[in-house]
Structure 1
Amino acid sequence: MWSGRNIRSDNPARTRGSNRMVSSGFTLVELLVVIAIIGILVGLLLPAVQAAREAARRMQCSNNMKQIALATLNYESTYKQLPPGPWDGDPGTSNPSGRTSGACCRAANRAGWSAQWRILPFLEQAAVYDLATNDPPWWPNRPNNSREDDVAQVLIPVYYCPTRRAPTGYGSAKFGRVDYAGNGGFYHGRPDTAVNFIPEAPLGAPAVSTRSRSNGGLIKKRAGAIIWAKDGDKRRLADIRDGLTHSIVFAEKSLPYTEHGLDGGDNERWNNAGWDTDTIRWHFPPKSDNDAYAPDRDAGGSTNWNHYFGAAHVGVHAALCDGSVQFYNFNIDATVWKNLCVVDDGESHEENQVN
């Protein structure tokens, strides 16, 4: 029975005096505003996320160098010398003692393999080290070690900088590479020029061939922590006269980002590349003692490896002979960097000169 009173509707979608429904959702304009705000927030956060990821990659790269540094020191403690670097060798000129010399581009036996291969047992990679168990018996023109390719095809994660690339094999055989090179010291001349002027020759004067004057020329070779292209020589920690904290043993190598696996400093296998810039780098002066190279950031092109040390970061990691790892900015004084690469010249630097 109707009491005569109006009954109020509890439906908020109805308006007074009308049965029409009113939408309670977003309008198109409101939706577009929300989307725009989300886009702005993502744009603000993305650089921070990328920076955080790069910081993590840099930390991993530093950890890789730390492991390499400690493995190198453990090798020195075991064998009473730092791991010698590689050299080229012609199987036809080898002799039973394992000496190799001559032709490009790899050593005939394990005696000429890289320092990176030698320290494998101290990186918990003894199984890879043991893949090449024995060199073949010596005879003229013998083949290389039959397991060399097997070793080269193993990708060692600690040898790859995560900012530059993931562990990757190259070529049809998928041979691995390394992003960390042994420090071979100071070497005159340039790899892409047979003749250099040291110092700048007077107008009309004949060019001075620095390569033919290594024993008495105007600039002499200086030792690095890793010996290369030398058979029988040894480098001990006691030979590091400039101080273990002021001498580099390994550092990141420069590499064009467009030339991974192809560049002259990255086109050979990691375990046996001869005395090549794939596994060892050294400091070159392009013209004089006062005209030295500092490390540089990866760039395009095919000649960036001539800068010798460098990285894909905003600076370069280097392992020192005391086992520590330092991060050097690319604006480091080039002469200071040269002093870090030479271990026995008696030249030192102040800490405030480093970065």
Structure 2
Amino acid sequence: MFGFSMRGYCCADAASRPVYSSSRTRFSRTGFTLVELLVVIAIIGVLVGLLLPAVQAAREAARRMSCSNNFKQIGLSLHNYHAAYRQLPRHLGGTWTNGNSPANMNNQMSLSFLVGISPFMEQQALWEQISNPNQRRVDGGIQSPAFPAMGPSPWVAQYVPWQTELPTLRCPSDPGVGLPSFGRTNYAACVGDSIVAMNTGPTQIVNSVLTNPTPVSVVAESQASCRGVFVARRDTRFRDILDGLSNTIMCGEIATDVGDRNTRTIAAIENGTDTIRDEPDYCFHDGLVSPKRPKFWSDGSDGGVSPTLAGADQGRGYRWAHGGTVWTSFNTILSPNRELCLGGAAGDGVNSPGVASISSYHQGGAHVLMSDGAVKFITDSIEAGDFDTPNVQLGGTGGAAPGSKSPYGLWGALGTRASGEVIGEEF
């Protein structure tokens, strides 16, 4: 009567109690162990290490494309200028006053071709400042008397247009910026495959006096040696380019100086124009390049000979408006990215004749602008003939006689406008 089922009690009691496993207690896990975390970090580090060079290469490719686009804009500007005036802008042109008196009232025929095309590069406002008298000074003062139309000499630091840096004239890969330069440029004019008269053309200036008429011998010398698209102080036209616009270099890229004794961007002044004319790689053969760091000039402590270098404010490409050799000129003698070696006395040597090739901060070469407006990348290994051969010149013999094909191979032939050479290979 008072009986009950133990089984029922047990089952009811068991249902009300938690059930424990006979094995050890198990807990769920939501994080990583230290070993797993270190492995993941290591994998990420490896991936970043693999991707970083690719990212850098992609960035440089973008900068190189931007540089090429700038050059195309310059080419279009030159063609528009030619369409408007039936000639190319003069290189080393401008105004002249014998004796340079009064001071700053002329530019001594030293302007680069870039000044002339400035209004065609969407710089109309800048051109208006240049082409009219201007009283503005860099220091904020008022110039009295006013700077003349077409500006003073391109080394006058207080003239605002000469200090203006134009984005179209800069390569994004070039790190050079600021003082002691004026407005920098990474693009220069091709003056041919000879250093003779490259800075004077068919003119003669003695003691700051322009000889008029020009002596016949000076004109003949210029005709024999000045074989590029641009001839200093002389007008040239597309019709003068008998070798074909697509086979002739009109402009080239140059790296600007950053103050590191780089052989491409700061000139060695050797006071021996004739020597350099007859042996274009003279600065290299004379041991001026560091044997330990072949892209830099020797300082005398590395087994080489320390050269006389241009001043700190006379680096390559430092003045976009100046047509002098070191600023905005190049020749097709030494292959791209070779040393900058000029004759003439220290002080004005940067305006003197010498070997001045194209250069850049791109890997392996530099851009050139062909006369038809095409932009090409020329590698350092382009076939460039014999560097020990003298330049073509008046009175030259053998391969240096007037009218000879360029002694500097394919590279030299591309820099001449009417040497009659057939370009039959890729470059």
- What TM-score results when the alignment is normalised by the length of structure 1? 0.71
SS at match of 1:345: coil
Letter in 2 for 1:223: R
Name which of 101, 106, 113 aligns with 1:108.
Answer: 106
The answer for the alignment partner of 2:18 in structure 1 is: 7
Structure 2 distance, partners of 1:298, 1:256, is 13
Please report how far the alpha carbon of residue 108 of structure 1 lies from its aligned counterpart in structure 2 after TM superposition. Answer: 3.0
Name which of 275, 278, 283 aligns with 2:332.
Answer: 283
2:91 touches 2:111 (CA, 8 Å); kept in 1? yes
The answer for the alignment partner of 1:55 in structure 2 is: 61
Per-residue displacement from partner, 1:153-192 (whole Å, max 9, x unpaired)?
21111111111137x3322xx621101101111224799x
Letter in 2 for 1:134: N
Please report how far the alpha carbon of residue 125 of structure 1 lies from its aligned counterpart in structure 2 after TM superposition. Answer: 0.7
The 3 A distance-change label for structure 1 pair 7 and 333 is same
The 3 A distance-change label for structure 1 pair 107 and 321 is farther
The answer for the alignment partner of 1:81 in structure 2 is: 87
2:188 touches 2:329 (CA, 8 Å); kept in 1? yes
Name which of 295, 301, 313 aligns with 2:336.
Answer: 295
1:256 touches 1:298 (CA, 8 Å); kept in 2? no
Please report how far the alpha carbon of residue 83 of structure 1 lies from its aligned counterpart in structure 2 after TM superposition. Answer: 1.2
Higher CA-based Rg:
2
Letter in 1 for 2:225: K
Structure 1 distance, partners of 2:416, 2:337, is 18
The answer for the alignment partner of 2:39 in structure 1 is: 33
| 1:152 and 2:152 aligned | no
Name which of 167, 175, 181 aligns with 2:188.
Answer: 181
Structure 2 distance, partners of 1:48, 1:190, is 46
Structure 1 distance, partners of 2:197, 2:32, is 69
For structure 1, which runs of at least 5 residues remain unmatched after alignment? 10-14, 97-105, 192-212, 285-292
Letter in 2 for 1:244: L
The answer for the alignment partner of 1:170 in structure 2 is: 179
For structure 2, which runs of at least 5 residues remain unmatched after alignment? 1-8, 134-144, 199-216, 267-311, 341-349, 385-408
Structure 2 distance, partners of 1:323, 1:132, is 26
The answer for the alignment partner of 1:203 in structure 2 is: none
1:88 touches 1:275 (CA, 8 Å); kept in 2? no
Please report how far the alpha carbon of residue 351 of structure 1 lies from its aligned counterpart in structure 2 after TM superposition. Answer: 3.0
The 3 A distance-change label for structure 1 pair 66 and 76 is same
* Percent of matched pairs sharing the same residue: 35
Name which of 349, 366, 372 aligns with 1:316.
Answer: 366
The answer for the alignment partner of 1:328 in structure 2 is: 378
The 3 A distance-change label for structure 1 pair 44 and 252 is same
The 3 A distance-change label for structure 1 pair 82 and 47 is same
Name which of 399, 402, 412 aligns with 1:338.
Answer: 412
Structure 2 distance, partners of 1:107, 1:246, is 40
Structure 1 distance, partners of 2:77, 2:68, is 14
Structure 1 distance, partners of 2:339, 2:50, is 27
1:243-254, aligned counterparts within 5 Å? 243-254=244-255
1:315 touches 1:330 (CA, 8 Å); kept in 2? yes
1:81 touches 1:237 (CA, 8 Å); kept in 2? yes
Please report how far the alpha carbon of residue 128 of structure 1 lies from its aligned counterpart in structure 2 after TM superposition. Answer: 1.1
Please report how far the alpha carbon of residue 236 of structure 1 lies from its aligned counterpart in structure 2 after TM superposition. Answer: 0.4
2:105 touches 2:152 (CA, 8 Å); kept in 1? no
The answer for the alignment partner of 1:225 in structure 2 is: 229
Please report how far the alpha carbon of residue 276 of structure 1 lies from its aligned counterpart in structure 2 after TM superposition. Answer: 2.8
The 3 A distance-change label for structure 1 pair 188 and 120 is closer
The answer for the alignment partner of 1:129 in structure 2 is: 127
The answer for the alignment partner of 1:102 in structure 2 is: none
Letter in 2 for 1:312: Y
SS at match of 1:30: helix
The 3 A distance-change label for structure 1 pair 138 and 95 is farther
1:132 touches 1:148 (CA, 8 Å); kept in 2? no
Structure 1 distance, partners of 2:241, 2:105, is 27
The answer for the alignment partner of 1:205 in structure 2 is: none
Name which of 36, 47, 50 aligns with 1:44.
Answer: 50
1:254 touches 1:297 (CA, 8 Å); kept in 2? no
Please report the RMSD computed on the Cα atoms of aligned residues, expressed in angstroms. 4.0
User: Aligned pairs, how many?
Assistant: 297
